[in-house]
């Protein structure tokens, strides 16, 4: 049987259980002897929790009072049909290769994640882009969200994590996942898969520039060196294949970065190279734009500028 709990109580049960046992969602899933991909729809209240799994919770006795109804296992699992399999396969716009699509790939390679979990009748097909709500809100809501909606003609949902300062952009679409796979983005762990810049971007300098913009907007930073009148633009990532590709990409555009340091960092230090970067690649993330202007590093008006897509 599947249990229909009072609205909000299914998620609350999982949250309280996690807090009581001091476990992450992944470890709670392990504790319950189910996969994380199965636990997440219960946590998001997209699927009614089976009675068998409900009974594995230590707090089940406190939540029995919130059970409104018990339904047969073959009852439509998605409440109200809002998240039925049909909505997962809704058609999307499949854009041609473009600077906008290349920038989106850079954003995904930085702060994005692609989830593909197959199951009978209903699976999980989702992209998620996560930033810091304190510093990235304007960038995510005013630039990234409209970019995705314009590219794919699809709804992007935004929500803030209650547990940390994370702002999430989420799109659920099987068709989108299939499209991104076709264009070279692998689902799952990007480091384990060594997911990197696809050839269709590498082979086009204009695409490569804006892909780097997306990468530096998400995994880059700009700062003043302590007690010095000099600055650095830094890119940090733990995917060694991607790091090598980013370094090669910068050099191919005439920008001289450092070697890869600590297996995670690439820096640009010389003022002439910083200006080259800002002219050829630039930023769209407002927190970086503001720092570049504050440090008086704005590129020349003849260059590509801080917004390469506008060129």
List, in order, residues 6 or more apart from 4 with CB less than 8 Å away.
Answer: 48, 67, 68, 69, 70, 71, 79
Q: At what angle do helices 240-252 and 205-219 cross, to 10 degrees?
A: 130
Residue extent(s) of CATH 1.10.260 domains in the chain: 2-73
Q: What is the mean pLDDT of residues 276-301?
A: 84
In this model, does residue 303 exceed pLDDT 50? Answer: no
Q: What is the mean pLDDT of residues 182-194?
A: 91
The predicted structure's pLDDT at residue 70: 82
The predicted structure's pLDDT at residue 260: 95
How would residue 311 be classed by pLDDT, with cut points 50, 70 and 90?
very low
Residue 158: strand pairing partners: 169
How would residue 208 be classed by pLDDT, with cut points 50, 70 and 90?
very high
Convert the pLDDT of each residue in 74-83 to its tens digit. Answer: 554 444 334 4
**How far apart (Å, rounded) are the C-alpha atoms in residues 210 and 309?**
7
Closest CA relative to residue 137, chosen from 169, 103, 109: 169
Q: What is the DSSP letter of 308?
A: G
The predicted structure's pLDDT at residue 163: 66
Class of 2-73 per CATH?
mainly alpha
In this model, does residue 44 exceed pLDDT 90? Answer: no
The answer to whether the predicted template modeling score (pTM) of the entire model surpasses 0.75 is: no
Name the 3-class secondary structure at 78. Answer: strand
The predicted structure's pLDDT at residue 28: 93
State the chain's mean pLDDT as an integer. Answer: 86
The predicted structure's pLDDT at residue 88: 58
Q: What is the mean pLDDT of residues 66-75?
A: 75
Sequence-ordered strand ranges (E) for the chain: 2-5, 49-50, 67-71, 112-117, 124-132, 157-160, 166-172, 220-224, 231-236, 265-268
**How far apart (Å, rounded) are the C-alpha atoms in residues 275 and 211?**
18
Q: At what angle do helices 99-111 and 205-219 cross, to 10 degrees?
A: 30
Say which CATH topology domain 99-310 has. Endonuclease I-creI (3.10.28)
Residue extent(s) of CATH 3.10.28.10 domains in the chain: 99-310
**How far apart (Å, rounded) are the C-alpha atoms in residues 256 and 274?**
9
Sequence-ordered strand ranges (E) for 215-254: 220-224, 231-236
More confident residue, 186 or 109: 109
Residue with tokens 């940390």: 164
Rounded to the nearest 5°, which phi and psi values hold at 263?
55, 25
- Least-confidence region, from 115-129, 170-184, 270-284: 115-129
Per cent of the chain over pLDDT 70 is 88
């Amino acid at each position: 049987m599947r249990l229909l709990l009072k609205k909000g109580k299914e998620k609350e049960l999982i949250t309280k259980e996690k807090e009581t046992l001091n476990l992450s969602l992944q470890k709670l899933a392990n504790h319950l002897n189910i996969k994380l991909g199965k636990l997440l729809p219960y946590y998001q209240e997209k699927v009614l929790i089976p009675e068998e799994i409900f009974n594995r919770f230590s707090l089940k006795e406190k939540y029995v009072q919130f059970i409104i109804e018990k339904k047969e296992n073959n009852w439509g699992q998605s409440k109200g049909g809002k998240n039925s399999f049909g909505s997962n396969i809704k058609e999307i716009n499949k854009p041609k290769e473009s600077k906008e699509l290349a920038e989106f790939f850079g954003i995904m390679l930085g702060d994005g994640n692609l989830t593909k979990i197959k199951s009978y009748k209903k699976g999980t097909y989702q992209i998620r882009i996560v930033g810091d709500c304190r510093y990235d809100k304007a960038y995510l809501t005013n630039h990234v969200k409209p970019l995705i909606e314009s590219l794919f003609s699809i709804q992007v949902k935004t929500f803030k994590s209650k547990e940390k300062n994370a702002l999430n952009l989420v799109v659920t679409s099987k068709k989108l996942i299939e499209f991104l796979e076709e264009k070279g983005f692998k689902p799952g762990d990007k480091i384990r898969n060594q997911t990197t810049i696809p050839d269709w971007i590498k082979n086009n300098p204009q695409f490569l520039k804006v892909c780097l913009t997306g990468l530096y907007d998400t995994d880059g930073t700009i700062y003043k060196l302590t007690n010095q009148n000099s600055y650095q633009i830094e890119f940090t990532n733990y995917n060694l294949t991607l790091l090598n590709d980013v370094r090669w990409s910068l050099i191919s555009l005439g920008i001289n970065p450092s070697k890869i340091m600590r297996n995670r960092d690439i820096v640009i230090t010389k003022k002439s190279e910083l200006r080259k970067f800002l002219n050829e690649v630039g930023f769209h993330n407002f927190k970086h734009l503001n720092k570049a202007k504050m440090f008086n590093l704005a590129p020349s008006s003849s260059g590509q500028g801080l917004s390469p897509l506008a060129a």
